Amino acid sequence: MTNLLFRNALNRIPQATPPIWFMRQAGRYHSHYQALKKNYTFEELCKNPKLAAETALGPINDFDFDVSILFSDILFPLEALGMGLKYDPGPIFSKFITPNNIKELISVDDAIKKLMFQSDALKITRELLPKNKSLIGFIGGPWTVASYGTGMNKGVDYQGGIKNKFIHELLEKKIFPLLRKNIELQITSGAEIVMIFDTDASRIGNSEDYKKYSKTLYKELILPYGNKVGYFAKHPFEYNYFIKKINSDDEVSLSGIGVDHTKPIYEWLGKTKRGFVQGNFNQDDLTKSLDDFKFALDSYIEPITKLSIEERAGWVCGLGHGILKTTPEENVKYFIKTIRETFK
C-alpha cells in the first residue's frame, strides 16, 4: 500500500515521472475543504479522525496527487502541553510560555496522550486511501514550535535566541521529547515518512547556531527512525549538515529534504546522492492568471527537461512552500497534468 513513484524517489531510483504532492494540499483554496468548513471548525476537521481523513482525501480524489498528508496542525503539541489554543481563523494562544510559567506545562508522557487523534486519523485515512497512494505525516520543527509557543514569531525577544537558557530548557525538556514521541506515534499509525516543517528556522539567526541546532535535531528526531523522517526549512542557510548526512555512507539518514523556490531544483538534486528532494515551483506563481501561470510553469520545467532520468532521480515535484488560498483549482489541475505529460 504505497505509491511506486514516491517509493522510487525515496530510494533514489531513476524514473521518468516524479511523484507529486503539495504542502497544505488539503486547504483553503480547495472547494472540498471550503464545503467542509461551512459545517465544521478547523479544530473539528483536525481532531475528529473521520473528518480529518475526509479532508485529507479531498485533494487525492479531485487532483490525483500521489501522496496524501495527515490533516492536522503543527501547533497541537503546544496545546497538548497545556497551552490554550484556538483558531480565529489563525492560531491564538491564551498565553505564551515564559520562564515564569514553563513549570506549569504538563509532562511529555501525558501530553502525547492528547495527540492520539492523529493516530486514529492516519489509520482511517490509510484505510480509505487507494492502495496506490502513499500516506505521510508531519510535525513542526522544534525551533518553529518553540517560536510560536514563546511568541518569538510575534516579536518577543529572548536575548541570545537559541543560546538563551530558557529557550534551551524549553527545547531540551519539552519540545524535542514531545516531538520525538509525536513522530513515533505517526510512524506506528501508518505514516510512511514524517516531514519536519521548520518554516521559522531563519530566526535562529546565524549559520553556526543553525548547524548546532541541526546536529541536535538529527540526533533526537531523525536518527532514531531510520530513513523515515524528512526535513523542510524556509531559510537563508544552506542545508550543509543535512546534505552531509544524506551523502554519508551511514546506514541511517534523512529520507529527504524539501526546498523552497529560491534555487533551481537541479542544484539540490546535484548536491544530494540519497533520499528525495521535494519542491520547488514558486507557490506565488500558481496563483496567477492561467496564461501567466502557464508561462511561469514552462520556464520552471524547461531546465529540468534537460536533465537525464538519472539526474532527476529523487525528485518529488511540489511547491516551494504551502499552496496559497487564492490558488485557482484550474491551475492545480493543469500543473499536475503538465508535469505528468512532460515527464513520461
User: What residues pair up with 256 in beta bridges, in sequence order?
Assistant: 230, 276
| pLDDT digits 0-9 by tens, 70-93 | 999 999 999 999 999 999 888 999
pTM as predicted: 0.95
For residue 139, what are the contacts with CB-CB under 8 A and spacing of at least 6?
74, 77, 145, 179, 182, 183, 186, 194, 195, 196, 197
pLDDT at 236: 56
The span from the CA of 329 to the CA of 334, in Å, is 9
| 206 closest CA partner among 175, 242, 160 | 160
SS3 helix, strand, coil % of the chain, rounded to 5? Answer: 50, 10, 40
In 218-328, which ranges are continuous DSSP H helix?
A: 240-247, 265-271, 290-305
1-5, 171-175, 249-253, 308-312: the lowest-pLDDT one: 249-253
Range of the domain at 329: 4-342
Q: Where residue 291 falls among pLDDT bands split at 50, 70, 90?
A: very high
Domains held by the chain: number: 1
Which CATH number characterizes residue 121's domain? 3.20.20.210
The span from the CA of 328 to the CA of 55, in Å, is 18
The reply to whether omega before 227 is within 30° of 0 (cis) is no
Answer whether 329's CB lies under 8 Å from 31's CB. Answer: yes
For residue 219, what are the contacts with CB-CB under 8 A and spacing of at least 6?
none
pLDDT at 237: 63
pLDDT at 202: 78
User: What are the grid coordinates assigned to 97, written together?
Assistant: 510560555
Answer whether 259's CB lies under 8 Å from 277's CB. Answer: yes
Mean pLDDT computed over 213-226: 92
Mean pLDDT computed over 184-192: 98
The span from the CA of 266 to the CA of 157, in Å, is 37
| pLDDT digits 0-9 by tens, 97-150 | 999 999 999 999 999 999 999 999 999 999 999 999 999 999 999 999 999 999
**Residue 187, SS3 per DSSP:** helix
pLDDT at 286: 98
Per DSSP, the residues of 102-160 read GGGSPPHHHHHHTTHHHHHHHHHHHHHS-TTSEEEEEEE-HHHHHHHHHTGGGT---TT
